[in-house]
Amino acid sequence: TEDEIILFEREMKEFWTKLKNIYGTEQINQTLALRDSCKESINALSEKWSKKLKEGDLMIDKIQEYSNEILQQSQRIPENQKHLTEIKSNLNQEEDQKKDLTDSIQELKEELMKKKEIISSKNKATKERVERLCKSKVLFEERLGLEIRRIHNEQLQFIFRHIDHKDPDKPYVFTLSINEQGDYEVTSCTPPLDCIAEFQLKVRETNNFSAFVANIRKAFTALSYK
């Protein structure tokens, strides 16, 4: 009947509605479960990538810091190179000065050694000449009535007596040295003689010392008669 058909259709609709509801609920549950799973995965990934991003940010900051430091170092390189060049230049100058100083010191040492050798040679020659003069002492004393004394600074003092017949003990004295040039030099004469410079020049030319002493005694003798 028509009522039965209507009832059947209503039951069918209810059945399909229930079937859809049952099927839809399971799908919804599955979808929700999948959604929750995806959400958890997304949260985990978000947390992981957030951590990665933070680490990346820190890495970027560190890289930027290193970059700034490298830039600063790069900017200081020309200044450091200039300073290094100045240091090298100063070192080279100091080396040159050191070499010049060493050469000068060596030259001074060599010059000093030469001067020492010359002085030593002159001193040796002077002592030898003084010794020869002293060896002539006996001869002079016996023949000329002369006394010879060695005094300070390697000088010899010649004392004549028996010249003044009125006063035989009266001394007539002159002092002799050998100068830096190795020449005889009269440093004092008492009483003074005008001809002493002439006698001194002559003995330097002839090196005849005996004649030099004899001439001075003659001059003293002539002076005593005035």
pLDDT at residue 173 in the model: 97
pLDDT at residue 198 in the model: 96
**How many domains does one find in the chain?**
2
Average pLDDT, the chain: 80
Which segments in the chain show pLDDT lower than 50? 28, 32
Encode 72-96: b = buried (16+ Cβ within 10 Å), e = exposed: eeeeeeeeeeeeeeeeeeeeeeeee
Q: Which of 180, 83, 86, 166 minimizes the C-alpha distance to 126? A: 180
pLDDT at residue 36 in the model: 64
Residues 162 and 214 in one domain: yes
104 found inside a domain: yes
Q: Cα-flanking dihedrals φ and ψ of residue 22, to 5°?
A: -60, -50
Q: Return the CATH number at 157.
A: 3.30.457.50
pLDDT at residue 110 in the model: 85
Tell me which of 143, 159, 177 is where a domain ends.
Answer: 143
160 found inside a domain: yes
Residues 136 and 153 in one domain: no
CB 102 within 8 A of CB 96: no
Residues 128 and 169 in one domain: no
197 found inside a domain: yes
